[in-house]
Amino acid sequence: MNGICKRSIRSQLLCWLLIPLCMLWLVSTIIAYYLAAGFADDAYDQQLLNSASSVAAQIESDGKDIIVDLPPAAQAIVRHSTQDKIYYQILDHRGQRISGDAIIPGPVNFLQTKPIAFRYASMNGQPVRIVRLRVNISFLPDKIAHIQVAETLHNRHHFTNKILLSIAFPQLLLILSGAIAIAIGVTRGLAPLNKLEIALASRSRLDLTPLEEETAPKEVQPLLRALNDLFSRLRDDIEAQQRFVANAAHQFRTPLAGLKTYVFAASQLPADQKMTEMLTHIDTGVERLSGLARKLLILAKSDPSNQTHSYEITDLNSVATEIVEEFQIEALSRNICLKLTLAESPALILGDFSDLTELIANLVENAILYTPASGSVSVLIEANQQVTLIVEDNGPGIAEEHREKVFERFYRILGNCPSGSGLGLPIVKEIATAHGAIISLGIGQNERGTKISVIFPAHISPRNIEETFDL
């Protein structure tokens, strides 16, 4: 039973309530059967004894031997049952049949003094109930007669089943009604847990606001207090981490800016080939560190838990156009074809212009970074029921086992690109989540490259642009 009931609290409650009830019903049904069989034996044994007494009343004597005067009419009375077969016989004190049917087995002990005895036996392969009536013949003191009447058990079984059904069936109906009532009660009793499940499932992964405790049942309040305590500790840890990242990024920017200045000043000194190479490497490293610091700041700012400003109506066509224009020179320097396809109608969403700029910029930068020379990168904007941004390249692609992990911070696929920071796609993920968008990663055309789609909810449709701006 534990294996069946361990799946949920609801199933455990139903099991522990219904299984004992069913066991009690089974036990009560067995007891009821034996009681019903006893009642049937009492009732039908009395009728069987009456039949034997009727046969005894027909015994006479001629002075020497016993004579039985049992005409057909009297026999019909004895064999009165319509469903069962009834047999009778009269035996003398020696067990010799005087009258009646010959197939009834004789009594076990002819010398026993009990005047009445009942027993079960078998006749012609059918179970029967037999009564033996010991009769003393008054006019012949030394003569004793044994009267046996046998009856098949159909009526008894029918009567027993009727009594059993009259007891067991109402109990079964009561148990079924109770099961329905228990199921409804358990469902209503667990409704607070269902509400808690829905409330937690509908939250974003960074929504750590406390759950309402006062209106919850007493049994659920300890769970809510434990969850709220956990949320509070997680919120403190996340805030401390975010502060560290933001402060570290800010602290990086000042010395990095100084290094850039020194590198530029050193590059103006008399030329030296080795020094020039070293300055070039230093400048590249400083540039990478500066980009990393900038992305850390963007990541801290784009975290959904830090969103305090209200969004504005933004046309994703304009944002994409601006970003693609900025990256055209870099794409041409790498011999990569960068093309943009805008939606035919304005792709209006509610969002933050700078965050959306970072989102598209990171996607385009990643695509260019991982696309080999003579490759292509396409940016597509679609505005239908939803606004969709698609960035696709024909680079090496992302293996299926890495597709979920690439959105983790600082996760990089070894061997793909040594200059990546592992923060581009996490920034995209954070900004998309903050805007209520869904991001998906797949394979590009011709089973090559990477295709990233960001689906924004279309808060504003082209048909009600004028009404929105009027508001």
Domain ranges for the chain = 7-161, 221-302, 308-470
242 has a pLDDT exceeding 80: no
Q: Does domain 221-302 have CATH number 1.10.287.130?
A: yes
Q: Does domain 7-161 have CATH number 3.30.450?
A: yes
pLDDT tens digits, 367-406:
888 888 888 999 999 988 889 999 998 888 777 777 777 7
- φ and ψ of 40, to 5 deg: -65, -40
Q: 163 with 37: CB under 8 angstroms?
A: no
Query: SS3 sequence, 370-414?
Result: HCCCCCEEEEEEEECCCEEEEEEECCCCCCHHHCCHHHCCCCCCC
- Note the pLDDT of residue 274: 66
Q: Which residue has the higher pLDDT, 43 or 404?
A: 43
Q: 22 with 176: CB under 8 angstroms?
A: no
Neighbours of 444 (CB within 10 A): 21
- Note the pLDDT of residue 464: 42
- Note the pLDDT of residue 396: 81
pLDDT tens digits, 331-361:
999 899 999 999 988 889 988 888 898 899 8
Give the tokens for residue 6: 């361990």
- Note the pLDDT of residue 467: 40
- The amino acid sitting at 427 is I
- Note the pLDDT of residue 196: 79
Confidence band (pLDDT; 50, 70, 90) for 208? confident
The mean predicted confidence, pLDDT, of the chain is 76
What's the distance, CA 71 to chain centroid? 77
- Note the pLDDT of residue 321: 93
Q: Does domain 308-470 have CATH number 3.30.565.10?
A: yes
- Note the pLDDT of residue 63: 62
- Mind giving me the DSSP string for 274-335? HHHHHHHHHHHHHHHHHHHHHHHHHHHHH-GGG--SPPEEEEHHHHHHHHHHHHHHHHHHTT
Beta strands 337-341 and 312-315 are unpaired
Q: 430 with 304: CB under 8 angstroms?
A: yes
pLDDT tens digits, 122-177:
888 888 888 888 887 766 556 677 888 888 888 888 888 888 888 888 888 888 88
266 has a pLDDT exceeding 90: no
pLDDT tens digits, 280-336:
766 666 666 666 666 666 665 555 555 545 678 889 999 999 999 999 998 999 899
